[in-house]
Amino acid sequence: MTTASVIRKNPSNRIESFAHDLGRAFGSPRHAVGQLRRWTKLAWHAELPVVELLRYRRELLADDEFQDHLERCLPDVPYIFPEAVELYALIRALKPAVVVETGVASGRSSAHILRALDRNGSGALHSIDLPNVQEGSVLPIGRSSGWIVPDSLRNRWKLQLGDSRELLPLLLNSLGRVDVFLHDSDHSYEAMLFEFEQAYPSLAPGGLLLSDDTHLHAAWDDFCKKHHIRPGRVGHLGLSRKPREATA
């Protein structure tokens, strides 16, 4: 049984969930210290209280309905999104009105964003996907982009299929302002820089810029250096808040 399963089967409220976390900390101090450092780093880069992010982490892991759905679907998904829990916590804490992501594949990140928006009771996700363009993220035969997203969460979701080089500028222009942007499509240096440069002017002051797989090359660091923003990383996830006084 997975750790998430243990958490979900036992606690009925946040106090019991937090008690489970403490018990695991005493059982494996090294793991607990590593997790605390990771979430403290996430909170620092996102400029959010670590206690709040950890509370949303516990909330997600105790979400029986959502976790059971994922467990049924994930055996058919040939890739992972290691920072999915962190992504959920960020969206819960930031409570964005508009989220844009490029790259959907089976929809693991999309599902976590949408579950967080659903819990927030507000906000919408706009996604762009060019199926099977990214090596390692090929859809299962007979499945379409975002197939693991539960029907109950799709009312806040608008998905467009096509090349982000064509669709992203149009989408950003129509939205005007974006609170969170996540790149997870073509991870070439050129494609990542293109998307960052397109999204950043539309990002609201204090908005969050996110990118998966920032370890592959220098695109993330080069972009952040150019725009004088902090090139934050938690695992392979790049994250940085746009300065609140910025206008572009």
We report the CATH number of the domain holding residue 206 as 3.40.50.150
Residues 54, 87 within the same domain: no
Q: Please state, rounded to an integer, the average pLDDT across all residues of the chain.
A: 88
- pLDDT mean over 184-212: 95
- pLDDT mean over 42-71: 94
Domain-embedded: residue 248 = no
Residues 174, 211 within the same domain: yes
> Residue 16 has what pLDDT?
57
Domain-embedded: residue 74 = no
Closest CA to 49 of 99, 107, 92: 92
> Residue 23 has what pLDDT?
54
Residues 64, 88 within the same domain: no
- Phi then psi for residue 98, to 5 deg, are -135, 125
- pLDDT mean over 136-140: 77
- pLDDT mean over 120-130: 97
Q: Between 102 and 244, where is the model more confident?
A: 102
Residues 168, 195 within the same domain: yes
- pLDDT mean over 51-64: 95
pLDDT of 217 above 80: yes
User: 5-48 pLDDT, tens per residue?
Assistant: 444 444 445 555 555 555 554 456 777 777 888 999 999 999 99
User: 64-85 pLDDT, tens per residue?
Assistant: 999 999 999 988 887 778 899 9
> Residue 77 has what pLDDT?
84
Residues 101, 29 within the same domain: no
Q: Are 48 and 94 in contact (CB under 8 A)?
A: yes
Range of the domain at 54: 3-69
Q: Which two tokens stand for residue 99?
A: 């989220």
Residues 84, 124 within the same domain: yes
pLDDT of 4 above 70: no
Residues 44, 84 within the same domain: no
pLDDT of 2 above 80: no
Which of 25, 47, 69 is the endpoint of a domain?
Answer: 69
Residues 108, 209 within the same domain: yes
Number of domains in the chain: 2
Q: Are 112 and 88 in contact (CB under 8 A)?
A: yes
